[in-house]
Structure 1
Amino acid sequence: MIDETGCIKAIGQGSEDALEQLYNHYCDRVFNTIISYTKNEEDAEELLQDVFVTIYNTASNFQFNSSVSTWIYRIVVNKSLDFLRKKNSQKRSGIFTSLYVKDSSEIKYESPDFVHPGVKLENKEDAQQLFKAIDSLSENQKTAFILTQVEGLPQKEVAEIMKQSRKSVESLVQRAKASLRKELEKLYPERGK
């Protein structure tokens, strides 16, 4: 266990050792959260670095109004959602470009057979379908679902990360589950019975 508050204070004063300590403590969890959004290891690794660069650059401004983990997850979620917005914008412009320009350079999309690193081999196909269905959720539902159901964070912490009430997070998770249930029942009608 590390002294997270001490780490942030030291990072705020430029300590790379403290950043390394914080990175080693959080990197796996942060990576798993990011890859739940990006579904691409290269993009997730790039965003992981971006998150810790942001932590290094902004640690001196951290007010300790929330826990360190809440602050880190807020950075992770914001970076991930920004990445998705940018990627979706590139996809749209890529579609228009390819309509008018032959042999346009390809835009790299996420792998259609993405499997979250924490999924067991025998559940691989189901996980692929689940993550495709998760992509259809609104940003808030996706974030609430990923943080509570995939990453296992308590709703109270997710509420702080999302700057929403606990009831709102609970409602988002319920709506996300209902949407996912409908989406997955289309793919697996025999399982709904």
Structure 2
Amino acid sequence: MPVLSLIDERELLIKLGDGEETAFNTLYQQYANKIYSRLLKLTQSEQLADELLQDTFIILWNKRHTINPDLSIKSWLYKVAENEVYQLYRKIARDKKLQEHIVSTFIETYSHTEEGIFYKESQELLVKAMEQLTPQRKEAFKLCRIDGMSYQEAATKMGVSVSTVSNHLVQATCIVRNYIFQSQERMAILISILLLK
């Protein structure tokens, strides 16, 4: 589809404000693919990107009377789409059970990842989270959570008791979880891992 000129876009926005569905459809055709690409990058999930794209254009339709035709609709749509993603992250951040499930899925998936940018980003995130750990917690976490050793095997390898390994894992998991959930961009990676399971 040819790129709209500023004049054409302004006229479409005026028509949209009057409730013309053809103007809405033209704007959708013009910007949906670009917005979808941005949402996919933020969520790493086709399903979430599809849903959030629809939400973005529903908001466009519902707020059509308040949109200033002299301003860029592209910027407005990107801002709405990104806000929808952040609202999703905030919702997840309030849901402790979902957080626990996402983190455990993330940790279990770490050692079974495939090549690619998505998995590289996931691995880099876990490595950065593990850098927050003390050497013994890091070793216990790696042996049990990543290498799949039992507590007894890890205890023997580390030369400590099973209860010490267990204690290190509880503390390490808490630190890793807190690190992962402090960033909305990082949350997108975790959500996508959950959805790919």
TM-score by length of 2: 0.50
How far apart in 2 are the matches of 1:7 and 1:80? 27
Supply the distance in 1 between the matched residues of 2:37 and 2:99 (Cα, whole angstroms): 30
CA distance in 2, matches of 1:137, 1:21: 39
* Match of residue 5, structure 1, among 10, 13, 30: 10
Deviation at 1:77, TM superposition (A): 1.1
Q: Residues 95 and 33 from structure 1, CA distance in 2 versus in 1: closer, same or farther, beyond 3 angstroms?
A: closer
| 2:88 paired residue among 69, 83, 88 | 83
Shift of 1:137: 7.5
Pairs within 5 Å for 1:1-193: 1-2=3-4, 3-64=8-69, 66-90=71-95, 92-94=96-98, 125-130=116-121, 133=125, 138-139=183-184, 142=185
Q: How many pairs were matched up? A: 120
If asked which structure has higher relative contact order (CA below 8 Å, sep 6+), I would say 2
**Separation in structure 2 between the aligned mates of residue 12 and residue 108 of structure 1, nearest angstrom:** 41
Which consecutive residues of structure 1, in runs of 5 or more, have no partner in the other structure? 97-106, 114-122, 143-193
**Residues 169-188 of structure 1: CA distance to partner in whole angstroms, max 9, x if unpaired?**
xxxxxxxxxxxxxxxxxxxx
Shift of the 124–48 alpha-carbon distance from structure 1 to 2, 3 Å rule, reads farther
Tell which structure's C-alpha radius of gyration is larger.
2
Deviation at 1:59, TM superposition (A): 1.8
Secondary structure of 2:63's partner? helix
Per the normalisation by structure 1, the TM-score is 0.51
Asked if 1 retains the 8 angstrom alpha-carbon contact of 2:10 and 2:70, the reply is no
Indicate the structure with greater helix content. Answer: 2
Q: Which residue of 2 aligns with 1:172?
A: none
Query: Structure 1 vs Structure 2: percent identity of aligned residues?
Result: 22
Q: What displacement does 1:94 show?
A: 3.4
Q: Is the 8 A contact 2:36 2:50 kept in 1?
A: yes
| Alpha-carbon distance in 1 for matches of 2:54, 2:119 | 26
User: How many angstroms apart in 2 are the aligned matches of 1:80 and 1:33?
Assistant: 10
**How far off its partner does 1:130 sit?**
2.7
Residue 18 and residue 138 in structure 1: after superposition, are their counterparts in 2 closer, same or farther (change >3 A)? same
Per the alignment, do residues 138 and 5 of structure 1 end up closer, same or farther by CA in structure 2, a change over 3 Å counting? Answer: farther
- Whichever residue aligns with residue 72 of structure 1, its letter is L
Question: How many Å apart are 1:66 and its aligned residue?
Answer: 3.5
* 1:6 to partner: Cα distance: 1.7
Name the CA shift for 1:89/1:66 in 2 (closer, same or farther; >3 Å).
same
Q: Per-residue displacement from partner, 1:42-71 (whole Å, max 9, x unpaired)?
A: 111111000001001112101246322111
